[in-house]
Amino acid sequence: MLDLKFVLANLDAVKLNCRRRNIKVDINRLVAMEEERRARLKHVEEIHRQQNENAAAMKAKLPPDERNMLIAKGRELKEAVANEEATLSQLTNNVDVLLRQIPNMTHPDAPIGASEQDNREIRRHGSPTKFDFQPKDHVTLGLDLGLIDFESAAFVTGQKFYYLKNEAALLEFALIQYSLTTLIKDGFTPIITPDLARAEILDGIGFNPRGAETQIYSIENTDLCLIATAEITLGGMLKDAILDEGGLPLKFAGVSHCFRTEAGAAGKESKGLYRVHQFTKIEMFAFTTPKTSEATHETFVGLEERLFAGLGIPYRVTDICTGDLGGPAYRKYDLEAWMPGRSEKGDWGEVTSTSNCTDYQARRLGIRFRREGEKKPVFVHMINGTAIAISRALIAILENYQQRDGSVLIPKALIPYMNGVEKIMPRGKA
């Protein structure tokens, strides 16, 4: 969340930012509540002053009548301060709830727009794959090659779940090894994270863990939720920590399953593996100083590009507009891969994203660092980015590497991890 002092000192800029990000927050109500909270705080402080004064008077030798008057006054003050502190606590909570609804400020270079249609393409790698035959989509390829079983998963678990079989199972582990090998060489610490987190951690990262609009699965009769991304568990790992500046940046590569309700997701573009309720993802995460966060963010998008360029997948990078950013992100880049089966002529589909959330999440989670020679710690900046989301990477590989005879070639970068498999053949063919 934003610093309340910053909000109050920059009301016009904060209101404009909310409008540009399509987020409705009653900033005027926040100001009024904060003014009332401060007035109540002064009143509580005045009652405490009177209590101290009354307690000091009780120490003197007094006639019984005067002592009884002071005792009665003490009771009145105690009751008064209890009532005022209860009201103050409620006001403080209300201010905090409203403050958390305000999105992060936005990078000045981010495109201004209302929806994904206003995102700005900034570069491309490769050209859309051309075929001398009619290409299949990944759903058809997965069924023909015995790679994906949606029907059994729907029976066992429900719609939007799936079994990966045969070479598709090998591909999942190959993609994990491929991405981790790349990230470890770049200084990332590999971590397998829990698939569950407390609701307060999700809230700190910026996810809504409860309510009708949530995309989060909650575990009944607990405060636990299934995570939608390892960003949640990696970011929450250092909650309330105070780090040393010399140890920053801290870079982690988290492997986890991800669970999303995908409520309302439908249509041809969401078919098959593109929008599912569970998938495996390798997530990049960094804790940095404010001075280095933008450079780290650029490094993250560069790593995403390196991974997909290494797979030989055509892609483009888009700078996400204000209306499509989400609450925590200061700036966000998406990498969209070419997917030949996404429509009749093929189309781009998002495969990774990376966001610089500055100190927005750190302020919620209490993660700070101490500069050398300074006593007061300051909030770290937090950057997240998808290295590989397995389900969508599989779409790009199957659809771009398909051959006329129905087979699918394995990208050269993955062959060392594929147990000798270089081509996926239709079942029963050599």
Which CATH number goes with the domain that contains 58?
A: 1.10.287.40
Domain boundary among 100, 130, 158: 100
**One domain for residues 130 and 166:** yes
pLDDT of residue 357: 98
Domain boundary among 100, 134, 157: 100
pLDDT of residue 427: 77
Is residue 108 in a domain? no
- What residues pair up with 253 in beta bridges, in sequence order? 190, 284
**One domain for residues 205 and 85:** no
**One domain for residues 193 and 307:** yes
Q: In angstroms, what is the C-alpha Rg of the chain? A: 27
Is residue 359 in a domain? yes
**One domain for residues 86 and 235:** no
DSSP 380: P
**One domain for residues 281 and 386:** yes
For the chain, what is the domain count?
2
**One domain for residues 343 and 416:** yes
Structural domain of residue 198, as residue ranges? 116-424
The CA distance from 215 to 260, in Å, is: 5
Is residue 127 in a domain? yes
Domain boundary among 40, 72, 100: 100
Residue closest to 388 by CA, chosen among 176, 227, 188: 176
- Domain CATH for 260: 3.30.930.10
Is residue 111 in a domain? no
**One domain for residues 344 and 220:** yes
Give pTM, 2 decimals. Answer: 0.92
Output the DSSP codes for 130-157: --SS-PPPHHHHHHHTT-EEHHHHHHHT
Is residue 330 in a domain? yes
Question: What are the CA-CA distances from residue 163 to residues 26, 149, 230, 264, 391 (Å)?
Answer: 46, 5, 22, 23, 11
The CA distance from 374 to 242, in Å, is: 13
pLDDT of residue 62: 86
The CA distance from 25 to 97, in Å, is: 11
Give residue 100's identity as a one-letter amino acid code: R
Q: Tens-digit pLDDT profile for the chain (430 aa)?
A: 999 999 999 999 999 999 999 999 999 999 999 999 999 999 989 999 998 988 888 888 888 888 888 889 889 989 988 888 899 999 999 999 999 999 999 999 999 999 999 999 999 999 999 999 999 999 999 999 999 999 999 999 999 999 999 999 999 999 999 999 999 999 999 999 999 999 999 999 998 876 666 889 999 999 999 999 999 999 999 999 999 999 999 999 999 999 999 866 566 667 899 999 999 999 999 999 999 999 999 999 999 999 999 999 999 999 999 999 989 999 999 999 999 999 889 999 999 999 999 999 999 999 999 998 888 999 999 999 999 999 999 999 999 999 999 999 999 999 999 999 999 999 765 4
Cβ contacts of 107 within 8 Å, gap of 6 or more: 330, 331, 356
Catalytic residue list: 260, 275, 350, 353, 392
The CA distance from 291 to 312, in Å, is: 34
Is residue 107 in a domain? no
**Are the CB atoms for 307 and 282 separated by under 8 Å?**
no
Q: Which residues of 180-198 are buried (b: 16+ CB within 10 A; e: fewer)?
A: bebbeeeebeebebebbbb
**What stretches of 57-195 adopt beta strand conformation (E)?**
120-125, 148-149, 163-164, 189-192
The CA distance from 85 to 338, in Å, is: 59
**One domain for residues 217 and 342:** yes
The CA distance from 8 to 14, in Å, is: 9
**One domain for residues 192 and 324:** yes
pLDDT of residue 430: 43
* Phi, psi (deg, nearest 5) at residue 145: -95, 0
**One domain for residues 258 and 354:** yes
Residue closest to 243 by CA, chosen among 364, 382, 384, 379: 379
pLDDT of residue 267: 60
**Are the CB atoms for 238 and 287 separated by under 8 Å?**
yes
How long a stretch of residues is the chain?
430
**One domain for residues 283 and 362:** yes
* Phi, psi (deg, nearest 5) at residue 164: -95, 130
Give residue 39's identity as a one-letter amino acid code: A
Is residue 429 in a domain? no
**One domain for residues 239 and 332:** yes
Is residue 105 in a domain? no
